[in-house]
Amino acid sequence: MSNNLKFYIDGAWVDPVTPAALDVINPATEEAYTQISLGAKADVDKAVAAAKAAFPAFSRKPVAERLALLKKILEVYNKRFEDIAQAVSNEMGAPLSFAREAQAWAGRAHMESTIAALETYSFSEKRGTTTVVKEAIGVCALITPWNWPLNQIVCKVAPAIAAGCTVVLKPSEIAPISGIVWAEILDEAGVPKGVFNLVNGTGPDVGQVMAGHPDVDMVSFTGSTRAGIIVAKTAADTVKRVAQELGGKSANIILPDADLQSAVTSGVQGCFGNSGQSCDAPTRMLVPRDRHDEALEIAKVAAEAHKVGNPTAEDTVLGPVVSQLQFDKIQRLIEAGIKEGATLVTGGLGRPEGLNRGYYVRPTVFGNVTNDMTIAREEIFGPVLSILPYDSEEEAIRIANDTVYGLAAYVQSQNIEHARAVALEMRAGSVYLNYPDWDTMAPFGGYKQSGNGREYADFGIHDFLETKGIVGYGD
């Protein structure tokens, strides 16, 4: 029996206090394929009360018990792996191969990294006659986005449990079904009553209520900078901790000694992955001015190799973007790039040829972009790449840092020492040298308006802990 119209509160699947349903749209067809219930303040109150009641006992559980619980969750996750992938493919329009190998994989990888981190995490240390202990912060409100649903759910829930916290999760109402499968996984794994709770709903009706709730001790939010500001302001009245992972406009500096063919081709792939819907995507590619035209030709070929189409087709590389709202925003920004004088290398307005239904976007590359253009300033969140020429390394670094965001940066060079030196100049929370593999043990989070706090592995656990000094504890 489907739990899509229910919430998970205090260890049970329950109906909303006041029934209200929302269609969940498959972006590949533009049609509803299921419904979820929308929560309200009364549902949040129930969930927070359950989490608050469960906190004293759960926070005192030995680390070994929390570790065993996480291992059991991982075991059930692996059993439900295909269900996760299918849910993400339906709610996001992700090609099935990507849903399995990236989206569902990410949840598994972060579970494994959190478990590994907890196995060696120290919750106390001696400093002379003082003992410093790290204790669970309390009830945590977790608000997650639609673009990497399992990545962000696991990056919040797993470290919160590792720390001894209890949680209320609000997944995105745009892509909520994978979150429901996740709740089923935790239920089967035997998570104690009230430790994990799920309430679906909108940002204003559920997310903001959670952020402002007096019995919530911390909010962890991933989403747009605009929404993050609202969450932070709402949380400020009760002086709770707020951890945020927000927007990005990441620069990809291709240094003169890089292999241009490889660097540009991989940069296009990095920008377009997940249909361009990644907050840390390398969306601004900086290339030496004397090789700018050559870079455009390479990028054109690379972009046009991305077959856009039905997520169930084996040869599909890019599915649709997630919603009509996202599609319209991307079209507006592509139009702005054309009007402001950037060179349209490939792609452009409208759907790809042969696709008349679904939120499909043409893989688009702009050249001769300057950093004051709209497409270089705003987060597009679609398969759109801006290529900017530069005259010197100093100018490239200045352009890269000339943004309100600071989530990620990329540097390409055949000289690793050179790449490392440039990385130190980047005002970003993560810097990726020569397109490395995804490292779920590395910290993830941003500078400036890309947020605060860090996720992944032990960095994520740390954010859910308070620090207490017991002075005069003795030797």
Do the Cβ atoms of 336 and 380 come closer than 8 Å?
A: no
Say how many Å lie between the first and final Cα of the chain, rounded. 58
Q: Which two tokens stand for residue 2?
A: 């489907």
How far apart (Å, rounded) are the C-alpha atoms in residues 98 and 187? Answer: 27
Phi-psi map region of 136: left, alpha, beta (phi>0 left; psi -120 to 50 alpha)? beta
Task: Check: CB of residue 369 under 8 Å from CB of residue 310.
Answer: no
pLDDT at 362 over 90: yes
The string of pLDDT tens digits covering residues 81-98 is 999 999 999 999 999 999
Q: Are 118 and 66 in contact (CB under 8 A)?
A: yes
Sorted by sequence, the CB contacts under 8 Å of residue 74 that are 6+ apart come out as 108, 111, 112, 115
225: amino acid identity, one letter: T
Q: What does DSSP assign to residue 434?
A: S
- Mean pLDDT across 146-150: 97
Q: Which residues are catalytic?
A: 245, 279
* Nearest residue to 364 (alpha-carbon basis) of 377, 356, 373, 381: 381
DSSP 8-state symbol, 383: S
Alpha carbons 453 and 4: distance in angstroms, whole number: 32
Q: How far is CA 411 from CA 68, 353, 419, 437, 470, in A?
A: 40, 34, 6, 14, 45
One-letter amino acid identity for 318?
A: L
pTM above 0.95, yes or no: yes
Residue 450, pLDDT above cutoff 90? yes
Q: How confident is the model at residue 240 (pLDDT cuts 50, 70, 90)?
A: very high
Three-state SS at 337: helix
Count the alpha carbons within 13 Å of 217 in the hemisphere toward its beta carbon.
18
Could you read off the pLDDT of 260-289 as tens digits, one per residue? 999 999 999 999 999 999 999 999 999 999
Question: What is the tens place of the pLDDT at every residue in 99-120?
Answer: 999 999 999 999 999 999 999 9
- Within a 13 Å sphere around the CA of 421, how many CA atoms are in the beta-carbon half? 9
Instruction: Report the pLDDT value the prediction gives residue 475, as an integer from 0 to 100.
Output: 82
Confidence at residue 291, expressed as pLDDT on a 0 to 100 scale: 98
Burial of 180 (0-12, 13-18, 19+ CB in 10 A): buried
In the predicted model, is pLDDT for residue 1 greater than 80? no
Q: From CA 227, how far away is CA 219, in angstroms rounded?
A: 13
Q: Give CA torsion, residues 446, 440, 322, 249, to 10 deg.
A: 30
Residues 167/218/163/176 CA torsion (nearest 10 deg): 40
pLDDT, tens digit, for every residue of 364-410? 999 999 999 999 999 999 999 999 999 999 999 999 999 999 999 99
Whether the predicted pLDDT of 243 surpasses 80? yes
Give residue 342's pLDDT band: very low, low, confident or very high (50, 70, 90). Answer: very high
Structure tokens at 225: 């900078």
Residue 433 in this model has a pLDDT that exceeds 80:
yes
Structural domains of the chain, ranges and CATH numbers in brackets = 7-246+450-470 (3.40.605.10), 251-444 (3.40.309.10)
Residue 451 has pLDDT above 80, yes or no: yes
pLDDT digits (tens, 9 = 90+) for 6-53: 999 999 999 999 999 999 999 999 999 999 999 999 999 999 999 999
For residue 68, the model assigns a pLDDT of 98
- pLDDT > 90: what percent of the chain? 99
**Where are the alpha helices (H) located in 60-168, listed in sequence order?**
63-79, 81-92, 96-98, 105-120, 149-163
| pLDDT for 231 | 97
Residue 258 near residue 414 (C-beta atoms within 8 A): yes
Using CA atoms, how far apart are residues 183 and 124, in angstroms rounded to an integer? 31
- pLDDT at site 224: 94
291-335 tens-digit pLDDT: 999 999 999 999 999 999 999 999 999 999 999 999 999 999 999
- Using alpha carbons, select from 228, 227, 301, 231 the residue that is nearest to residue 264: 301
Alpha helix positions (H), 194-339: 208-212, 225-236, 260-272, 292-304, 324-339
CA dist 296 and 283 (Å) reads 14
CA 417 to chain centre: 30
d(CA 380, CA 281): 10
Mean per-residue pLDDT, 144-172: 98
